Chains A and B, each alone.
Chain A
Amino acid sequence: MKQKVYSLLYRTFAINAPVIFIVYNYIFMRNAFQNKSVREFRQGVNDSKCKFWLQTLLDNTLMSIMALKAIRDKKGTIIDFEYMFVSKIAEASVNRTDHTSRYFLKEFPGAKIPGLFDHCVKVTETGIPWNSEIFDEAEGFKSWTTIKTIKLEDGCLIMYSDITERKNAEHEIRKMKEELAKRATDKYQKFFNSVNEGFCLMEAEFEDHKVVDLIFREVNPAFEKNTGLHDVVNKPVSQVLPSFKQNWINIFTQVAKTGEAVKMESYISELSRWYSISFSLMREINNSCVALIFDDITKRKISEVHLEINNQKINEILNNINVLQNITAQKETEKKLKENMDLLQSILDISINSLSVLKSVRNSHNEIIDFEYILVNKTVVESLQKGILTGRLYTEVYPNAKESGWFDILKEVVESSSMADFEKPFNLYGKEDWFHVVAQKFDDGVIVTSSKITQRKEAEEEIREQSHFNRQITDTSPDILYVFDLVEEKIVYINKSIYYSLGYSPEDIYAMEDKLTKTLFHPKDYNRRIAHIVSMATVKPGEVRDMELRLKDIKGKWHWYNIRETFFKAGEDGSTKQILGIGQDITDKKEVQAAFKEEKTRNEELRRINELMDTFVYAAAHDLKAPVANLKLVTEVINNTEETALRLQLQNKYPAIIKTLDNTISGLINVLAIEKGSCTTLKELYFHDVYKVVIKELGQEVLEVNPKFTLDFSNCESIVYIESYLISVFRNMISNSLKYRSQEKKLTIHIESKRSGKYILLTFRDNGIGIDLGYYGKDLFKPFKRFHTLSEGSGIGLHLIKNMVTKNGGKIEVESKIGAGSIFKNYLVQYNK
């Protein structure tokens, strides 16, 4: 028994090689000294000395060892174990010094360990060893124990040791490595994605401890893209790529044996492409897992550089991966990796901005001389159109990186760990565009994102110019520009013009608030203004409403303004809240307008006067010349004749001629007098009074003829008119009636007044000889046209009257019948006092 123990010890101590070595050597040397055979030696173990060594060995070992002998019942079932011997440590751990002959079940605290007894039984019966690591938590203190049980004759040998410390250390390491792994994983994720190669994990399938097949366990998206193989997960290579099966199995074996990665370039006939495949053992998962990296090198066969670089990276990845110890963590990480990777790629590719990850390239003095593309997103690739960027140098992709200053910016970011955020123009394809660039340090490199902002920049510039322009317009415009809030009844914006025009600064205006109207506006314009403001609530965009009003400047002087207002901003309820207005000083214009109006009136007056003067001149020329000519004639004949009778006859003509002359001159003077006095006397004149005056003036003539007058001024008793004018009208009308009376009947003259629309109608009706209007018609009111040969004096009368009446908008109408009489209708327009 003890011999067996010894041999077992030997075996179990295989782990602790040094101990074994020492022990063995000691014994061997001892044996060698004594020149005994092993068998003899073993026999000698019964020797007390051997026993002593063993005990010493047992006592000095750090492991707890217990040899147990099975206690069987009558049926042969193991019911207990008896301690054969126990190591010192074991004793110490259970606070006993002598286990010998104690019973396992009763005593050993290990019995606490669930199932330990059963395991021992099983080991004893079957001979299959049992290993385990047991975790215990007692009093908040965690402890790990490793326990190994092997069959020993009809019993078992238990070896256990506390590995808490180791476990803790392991845990720490694991944590660190997880950390590392995570970092590596992050890197890995990035790399994993940037890697254009297909990646897959394969697990070996064993049969009798020999690899017979390899099964695809996981693939990355690039794998499918690269190989064109879909849905390979959980399928064996024998099915997917049968031609490679043996080759890969061989490689796998090699890799598994050496632990070293193997790389090969092969042509996969099923895919008709060249691939570079890397095999590496994924020990962390299990000893039968390999990672394969596929790379379609059909193209790459051309460019070895990329391949080299990528492989380096892959090795890096693989190195990082090989650092991982924890199996489940790795599985988790990989799963997360794949998810994150997909997400990352999608996010990166969705972004319209360029994203590049660059790694510093340093020279022997550790200075950054260039950058290498580690990762780029779709936008970069598409915008540069320079093909695959990964692995290429920055200065190669951007030849003018250094001279444009971009290189230095990136270098600065890496060296100072600062973040760069700037907008800069950059010449791409000969066209200068603006870019907004953000660069951030990442490891020994930089992540750069940029977006093209040319359009925005252009728009900004336009707006800036526009604002500047607008500001210039509003500031230099002589007109007042303002925004008025209808709800709050105050100016919310007014330009500087207000100062130059009315002397108030914009601040003064804002301060006025709702007192604005009272302060600046003319009292006569208040109501109009307020009504206008109320109406502005409905003004639509684009609709302009204007009004003229007076504004008072800071000195108190009034100015006429034309203000044009339109919709500016709507309120929440949709109605107009604010209006934009522009005000122009039209004081001058108004004055000009008034002057113009005056001018117009004056012009019209002048025209009338001119006409009159022409008439005057003409009348003077003609009507004066006639009697003068007669005088001449008479004088000449008298002078040329001796006949006294004739002389006398002619001399008698003088009075008549002189009278005609006199009348004409008087008439003409009268015209002038009337014109001279016309502008000033506006009076309310009673028709009856005027009639009386004229009758008196005409005097003798009226008395001689003695017409019958009938008057009716009941409808309209008076008129505001120019006195001299109205007198002339009466005189002319009556005088004509007197002159052109019928010889056969008594003259009757009817004068009446009434309102007729805007006129005051003054009618003169007589029963005289009448006028042949068909014959004389248009000549009636022409100057100096005497319409009857019986008349004397100037024919200027009716022309003058017409002139007076039409001066302020009136008219004269005539109705006449030969032999019956005439009706003169004077439509007079009353003057405004």
Chain B
Amino acid sequence: MTKVFILDDDELHNELNRIVMNTVGIQEIDIRISGKDAIQYLEDCKHDNSFPALMFIDLNMPGMNGLSFIKLFEEKYLQYSNHTRIIMLTNSILDSDKDEAMNHKSVLYFLNKPLTAGKLTEILHKVENIKV
């Protein structure tokens, strides 16, 4: 069962994403809307020793932005979950953002919103190849 994590401050968008994911068959979806909460979630994962396979991270968020979160994740939590892959899901069209994001080894894709079902399927296929 694929476990997915969404970090985005746009709650409506999160809800929509959940719907889309449901249609594709992903049921286990954790959503957080702030970096602070997200970090707490990671701690929980660590505690439970159960990290999601995919993390959909928004770039521009108030407080901690997406990249900061990714950095933190890689620093502190990657060791516990080297199977986790991150998808940057953002409205940003800046190449600099993309380049910087892709520099991180756990970042699989840099995608523009919205996340379509088709895209999601593609990602799942990719991930499945990666052993849990």
Contacts and interface: CB of A to CB of B under 8 A. Distances in A.
Interface in A624-641: 625-626, 629-630, 632-634, 636-637, 640-641
A272 interface: no
B62 A630 contact: no
B91 interface: yes
Contacts of A646: 19
B30 interface: no
Given A622-B60, A786-B9, A789-B34, A634 B113 contact: no
A621 B114 contact: no
A785 interface: yes
B23 interface: yes
Contact of A656 (B12, B17, B62): B12
Given A626-B113, A633-B116, 20 more contacts: A621-B92, A625-B113, A626-B13, A629-B13, A629-B112, A630-B12, A630-B114, A632-B113, A632-B114, A633-B20, A637-B19, A640-B23, A776-B63, A779-B62, A779-B63, A787-B62, A787-B63, A789-B9, A789-B33, A789-B34
16 contacts: A621-B93, A625-B113, A626-B10, A626-B113, A629-B13, A630-B13, A630-B16, A632-B113, A636-B116, A637-B20, A637-B117, A657-B12, A784-B60, A786-B62, A789-B9, A789-B11
A795 interface: yes
A650 interface: yes
Contacts of A625: 91, 113
Interface string B73-114: 000000000000000000111000000000000000000111
A788 interface: yes
Contact of A629 (B9, B62, B113): B113
Contacts of B63: 775-776, 779, 787
Contact of B23 (A634, A637, A657): A637
Interface string A638-671: 0011000010011001001100100000000000
Contacts of B11: 789
A641 B33 CA distance: 27
Residue with the highest number of chain A CB atoms closer than 10 Å, among B9, B20, B63, B93: B63
Contacts of A775: 36, 63
Contact residues of A: prevailing secondary structure? helix
Contacts of B91: 621-622, 625-626, 629
A629 B10 CA distance: 11
A679 B76 CA distance: 52
Given A636-B117, A779-B62, A641 B23 contact: yes
A227 B15 CA distance: 143
Nearest to A653: B12
A787 B61 CA distance: 9
Contacts of A787: 62-63
Contacts of B20: 633, 636-637
A785 B62 contact: yes
Contacts of A636: 20, 114, 116-117
Interface residues of B, number: 26
Contacts of A649: 19
Which 6 residue pairs across A and B have the least CB separation, nearest first?
A: A629-B113, A633-B114, A625-B91, A633-B16, A629-B114, A632-B114
Contacts of B34: 789
Contacts of A634: 16
Interface string B26-55: 000000011010000000000000000000
Interface string A380-401: 0000000000000000000000
Nearest to B36: A775
B62 A653 contact: no
Contacts of B114: 629-630, 632-633, 636
A775 B39 CA distance: 14
Residue with the highest number of chain B CB atoms closer than 10 Å, among A637, A653, A786: A637
Interface string A429-453: 0000000000000000000000000
A472 B62 CA distance: 74
Interface in A460-479: none
Interface string A609-633: 0000000000001100110011011
Given A632-B114, A779-B62, A622 B92 contact: yes
Interface in A749-793: 775-776, 779, 784-789
A815 to B, nearest CB: 19
Nearest to B16: A633
Nearest to A772: B63
A147 to B, nearest CB: 152
A633 B120 CA distance: 13
Contacts of B62: 776, 779, 785-789, 795
A650 B12 CA distance: 10
Contacts of B13: 626, 629-630, 633
Contacts of B10: 626, 630
Nearest to B113: A629
Nearest to B65: A779
Residue with the highest number of chain A CB atoms closer than 10 Å, among B11, B34, B62, B113: B62
A649 B12 CA distance: 12
Nearest to A788: B62
Nearest to A634: B16
Residue with the highest number of chain B CB atoms closer than 10 Å, among A634, A650, A660, A776: A634
